Amino acid sequence: MPRFRSILDTMPPYRPGKAVAAADGRSYKLSSNESPYDPLPSVVEAVAAGARQVNRYPDPAAVALTEAIAERFGVPAGHVALGAGSVTVAQQLFETVGEPGVEVVYAWRSFEAYPLLADLAGATSVRVPLAGEDHDLDAMAEAINDRTRMVFVCNPNNPTGTAIRRAELEAFLDRVPGDVLVVLDEAYREYVRDEDVPDGLTLYRDRPNVCVLRTFSKAYGLAGLRVGYLIGHEPVAEAVRKTMVPFAVNHLAQVAAVASLRAEGELLERVERVVKERTRVREALLAQGWTVPPTEANFVWLRLGERTLDFAAACAVEGVAVRPFAGEGARISIGDPEANDAFLTAAAAFRAQL
């Protein structure tokens, strides 16, 4: 038999959100942080037109998309690097620093791909436990040493939805050595409504060791096309571009992302609807007696401990798929009002049995 890397024997596969169905066929997928809305007509038209060119390779440098992102956020084009979804850009980042002896610091629990990407890159994970549902930035700063090459800060955090405010984040960044890269993973930035939660792009400009990671998968509704991007100073962006697989961002993805930026005003109206539903769902859960941390993302978090899998199973009976983390809690994405109502009904029924 062929011989493979020994790390593969200990690595669980990434678990995508699953769909379930009730006995009557009802099915509400709240297990993946996707937009509940169909793509905008203008985006669909752009993709349909772009389909006429799929016999050709995509632009490997994605010049049109890179320039569109740079213009949208007022940054140099040389500060932008792309990948097939933000998780792939994260993988590219791990590949820029990963080698034996290197450590990467991140909160835990946070985005579940971090440990897998670290292992694949040959880096050692340093997981710093959350303080309740929040990043413990003091402990993370103390975990940095001469072997630390990179720190991930997921803000808002996935799966808890909690966000770090400006003063705390700036104080943390001031403690990080200049030769340690800090990645502000802002996949849910568009859903943030707390004005004291900083936009990472306002922090990176005068900090060469800080970069920002974002995606078109959530608010922009392009999860199926896989487009993510990084904004950082030229040395960081250049290193990430070097680790990008050629043609990783396909032609239709590039076209759709450019069209989405052009239609951003209309897209953000949809985001506002999700935010309003998020508020409604959280308030309803609080009224039912649940403890629900404030969330700035497009999901809510319930810490359920040993009841987590039972809760997920009870929701599945009602046709509602949630994202359980065994022994810890469940993350529930915000869907359309019908899906959210189905979830709230299931949550109330489970609560009544406790």
Reported as a single tens digit per residue, the pLDDT across 128-154 is: 999 999 999 999 999 999 999 999 999
Contact 109, 328 (CB under 8 A): yes
Based on the fold, state whether residues 157 and 173 are members of the same structural domain.
yes
Based on the fold, state whether residues 201 and 278 are members of the same structural domain.
no
What distance in Å separates the CA atoms of residue 42 and residue 248, rounded to the nearest whole number? 24
CATH number for the domain spanning 16: value is 3.90.1150.10
SS3 labels along 35-73: CCCCCCHHHHHHHHHHHHHCCCCCCCCCHHHHHHHHHHH
Based on the fold, state whether residues 61 and 210 are members of the same structural domain.
yes
Based on the fold, state whether residues 314 and 170 are members of the same structural domain.
no
pLDDT at residue 43 in the model: 95
Q: How many CA atoms lie within 13 A of 152 on its CB side?
A: 35
Share of the chain above pLDDT 70, in %: 100
The answer to the question of residue 140 being in a domain is yes
Specify the pTM: 0.95
Based on the fold, state whether residues 167 and 314 are members of the same structural domain.
no
Tens digits of pLDDT across the chain (354 residues):
898 888 888 877 777 777 887 788 889 999 999 999 998 999 999 999 999 999 999 999 999 999 999 999 999 999 999 999 999 999 999 999 999 999 999 999 999 999 999 999 999 999 999 999 999 999 999 999 999 999 999 999 999 999 999 999 999 999 999 999 999 999 999 999 999 999 999 999 999 999 999 999 999 999 999 999 999 999 999 999 999 999 999 999 999 999 999 999 999 999 999 999 999 999 999 999 999 999 999 999 999 999 999 999 999 999 999 999 999 999 999 999 999 999 999 999 999 998
Based on the fold, state whether residues 184 and 249 are members of the same structural domain.
yes
Q: What is the span of the domain harbouring residue 78?
A: 41-262
The answer to the question of residue 11 being in a domain is yes
The answer to the question of residue 315 being in a domain is yes
The answer to the question of residue 1 being in a domain is no
Based on the fold, state whether residues 23 and 59 are members of the same structural domain.
no
CATH number for the domain spanning 253: value is 3.40.640.10
Residue 289, H or E segment:
none
